[in-house]
Amino acid sequence: MAKTLKLSKTELKEFLDAKVEQYNHPRFIESDPIQIPHQFSKKEDIEIAGFLTATIAWGNRKSIINNAHKMMQLLEQSPYDFIINHQESDLEKLTDFVHRTFNGYDFIQFIRSLNHIYKNHNGLEAVFSENIQEQTLQHSIHQFKTHFFEIDHLQRTQKHVSDPLKNSAAKRINMYLRWMVRQDQNGVDFGIWKNISPSLLSCPLDVHSGNVARKLGLLKRKQNDGKALVELDIALRKLDPNDPVKYDFALFGLGIFEGF
């Protein structure tokens, strides 16, 4: 276990703010899965490409990016049009897709569920904007999962959407929400969802950000679970109540690029 670095609150904020400036930069896009939604300009294409990419964002980053590119090719580089207008026969070509435990049948289920979200729930932004409780989006994520699987679905596919109310840190969905909601002046995060305040976002907590947060004294809990996420949220909101998840760039950058 790494030792905690002893910094005053002022020193810690200055250190992390400098790291945010270093990593919240357009060059970050080149090596990050966020490059996939950056290929698109239409709101619905960006949010769907982002959602599908975030869904498979675990494991080797190069293979995440390669497989997310494959997903977009299978959706004919028009994800929204494909989701809204596909025929059953169009889905057959998706069956061979695989990224770790996410397979072609999961992919097909996601297309059907996204179709349902757009046709019956006014789209992804509307679903996540509802059910915000207690100044956090974790209840909204739970409700999104409920809507996503309220149509006939494969039981196995449910594991690919996290549920924070079951004590999951929901890293990938929180990362996706950062992409869509955060008002980024530097052209990395999109900020195309205007109905959710960036102050409500939670840090995508994974092994890298968790280890760095512990070393900096931002997190004491040893597991990277829902309870740890609440603890980290509280710490980051003290540093910047309006834009707490900007520090994801600092924690991630320190962990991945600097082996901090």
pLDDT in tens, the chain (260 residues): 456 677 888 999 999 999 999 999 999 999 999 999 999 999 999 999 999 999 999 988 999 999 999 999 999 999 999 999 999 999 999 999 999 999 999 999 999 999 999 999 999 999 999 989 888 999 999 999 999 999 999 999 999 999 999 999 999 999 999 999 998 989 999 999 999 999 999 999 999 999 999 999 999 999 999 999 999 999 999 999 999 999 999 999 999 888 77
The whole-number pLDDT of residue 1 equals 43
The residue with tokens 């900096």 is 216
CA dist 2 and 178 (Å) reads 28
Please name every residue paired with 136 in a beta bridge, in sequence order, or none if there are none: 133
Sign of the alpha-carbon dihedral angle for 55, 87, 43, 138:
negative
Neighbours of 8 (CB within 10 A): 8
- Cβ atoms of residues 37 and 53 within 8 Å: yes
Calculate the CA 205 to chain-centre distance. Answer: 10
Q: How far is Cα 247 from Cα 236, in angstroms, rounded to an integer?
A: 7
* Residue 99 CB neighbour total at 10 angstroms: 20
- Whether pTM > 0.75 for this model: the answer is yes
Burial 78-92 (b: 16+ CB within 10 A, else e): bbbebbeebeeeebe
* CA torsion, ordered 231, 188, 173, 234, to nearest 10 deg: 10
pLDDT for 258 = 85
Q: 206: phi > 0 → left, psi -120 to 50 → alpha, else beta; which?
A: beta
What pLDDT sits at residue 134? 83
At residue 3, the pLDDT reads 60
User: Is the CB of residue 97 less than 8 Å from the CB of residue 123?
Assistant: no
